[in-house]
Structure 1
Amino acid sequence: MIEQIIDRRAHDLGGGFAVGRVLPSSARRMVGPYIFFDHMGPVDFAPGIPRDLDVRPHPHIGLSTVTYLYDGALTHRDSLGFHQEIRPGEVNWMVAGSGITHSERLEYARAHGAHMHGIQAWVALPVENEEVDPAFYHHDGADLPSWEENGFRGRLIAGETQGMKAAVKVHSPQFYMHWEMDAGASIVLPAEYAERAIYVAAGSVRVGGRALHAGQMAVLEPGVDVPVRADNASTLMALGGEPLGERFLFWNFVSSSRERIEQAKEDWRQQRMKLPVGDDLEFAPLPGENKP
């Protein structure tokens, strides 16, 4: 029932803020349209943490980003003028399309201290939507399908599954769920999509009878329903969808075209992309290049 297991790898976002990177990996680049998956924390920040830990203004093209927190808070600002506090259980879905810039600051943690824990994922856009106008959508959770049964609590963050549909606007067939499972609880992930995966953010479970621990993603075989049982209290993400075809990835840029990636690199290098409103005094340089 499991095609492969991917272990998260430590990755420094800059300034010492390390995350666990799962996708892309050498073993697997995408699961459905999901091309990037970072596990943030869990980590405790004391009041007064340096600004070096913030994610400075940076660009995206050809994808949507979704930041989902279990604990803590982040401050989002983007080039469209949106300024949004990201809180646990809320969905912040940013469509980069033809190009957007944003920053994610640890302003709450800097002022108050915080226990930070969450997931950031990127969803590649279909070829016909890669150059759509950028957009930002915030959902406080009230319009997201949620359900409970026998020690299991689920929330559909995006897409459609099992007769449910989230309010988040997506551009291709997919699903993205947050699961909380008590010890001994069980659930079955149906074979609705060609590509599916389960990630353990905390705890340990058995997927199709095989043990899976925190920091591991199981990419599932297509065409079979997969049972999941929690060995102890666990937090999981279930995700997947229909594949979109080959995508090229460089830094924060995703595209079906190498030439489009090169154009985006030059646009950022030449400062042709507008910086976030209210956060335009610094920016992240291209990898390997110094800030002008």
Structure 2
Amino acid sequence: MIERIISRRTHDLGGGFEVGRVLPFHARRMVGPYIFFDHMGPVDLPAGIPRTLDVRPHPHIGLSTVTYLYDGALTHRDSVGSHQEIRPGEVNWMVAGRGITHSERFEHARAHGARMHGIQAWVALPVEDEETDPDFHHFAGADLPTWEEKGVKGRLIAGEAEGMKAAVKVHSPQFYMHWDMAAGAARILPAEHAERAVYVAAGSVEIAGQPLRTGQMAVLEPGRDVPVSASEAATVMVLGGAPLGERFLFWNFVSSSKERLEQAKEDWRQQRMKLPDGDDQEFTPLPQ
């Protein structure tokens, strides 16, 4: 039932703040349209942390970013004029399309101290939508379908699954869910999507009897219902959807075209991409 297990690898975002990177993985670049998956924390940030820890303004093309927190808060600003603080159980969904820039600041933690814990994923756009207009949407917890059953509390973050549909506008068939599982709880992940993965953000689970611990993602074989049971209390993310075909990735850029990536690099080098409103005094240099 499990095609591959991927363990997170430590990655520094550039200012000393480290995340656990799961996707892309050399032997598995994507799961459905999901091409990037970073696990942030859990980490306790004291009041007064330096701004160097923040995610400074940087660009994206060809994807949507989805930010989801379990603890803490982040302040988002972008080049289409959005200024939004995200808190646990909410969703920031940013469509980069033909190009957007944004920053994510630890302003709440800097003022008050905070425990930061969450996930940021990237969703590749279909070829016909890669150059769509950039956009941003915030969804509060009440906007997201939730349910409870036999030791499991679930939330559908994006897409469609099990007869539910989230408010987030997606560009291709997909699903993204958060399960909080009590110790001993179990449920079935249906085979309704072509590609699926299960990620353990906290605790541990078993999938068809095989253990999966914190920081591991199980990419599942297609076409079969899969039983997931919690060996201890666990926070689980379940995601996937229809594959989109090959995508190329450089830094924060995703495209079906290598030439488009080169154009995006040059646009950023030449500072042709507008920086976020209210946060245009810093930027992240293009990697060498």
| Shorter-chain TM-score tier | over 0.9
Alpha-carbon separation, structure 1, partners of 2:139 and 2:240: 20
Q: Contact conserved, 1:6 with 1:27, CA < 8 A, in 2?
A: no
Alpha-carbon separation, structure 2, partners of 1:184 and 1:27: 32
Secondary structure of the 1:142 match is helix
Aligned positions of 1:230-269 closer than 5 A: 230-269=230-269
Aligned positions of 1:109-128 closer than 5 A: 109-128=109-128
Offset at 1:96? Answer: 0.2
Aligned positions of 1:98-113 closer than 5 A: 98-113=98-113
Unaligned runs of 5+ in 2: none
Give the aligned residue type for 2:255.
S
Offset at 1:212? Answer: 0.2
Secondary structure of the 1:264 match is helix
Residue of structure 1 in register with 2:163 after alignment: 163
Residue of structure 2 in register with 1:4 after alignment: 4
Residue of structure 1 in register with 2:220 after alignment: 220
Superimposed CA distance per residue, residues 215-261 of structure 1 (whole angstroms, 9 cap, x where no aligned partner): 00000000000000001100010000000000000000000000000
Residue of structure 2 in register with 1:96 after alignment: 96
Instruction: Tell me the matched-pair count.
Output: 288
Alpha-carbon separation, structure 2, partners of 1:27 and 1:257: 21
Offset at 1:14? Answer: 1.2
Residue of structure 1 in register with 2:172 after alignment: 172
Offset at 1:143? Answer: 1.7
Offset at 1:3? Answer: 0.2
Unaligned runs of 5+ in 1: none
Offset at 1:98? Answer: 0.4
Secondary structure of the 1:211 match is strand
Alpha-carbon separation, structure 2, partners of 1:155 and 1:191: 18
Moved over 6 A (4+): none
Residue of structure 2 in register with 1:59 after alignment: 59
Offset at 1:39? Answer: 0.1
Residue of structure 2 in register with 1:38 after alignment: 38
Give the aligned residue type for 1:75.
T
TM-score by length of 2: 1.00
Give the aligned residue type for 1:69.
L
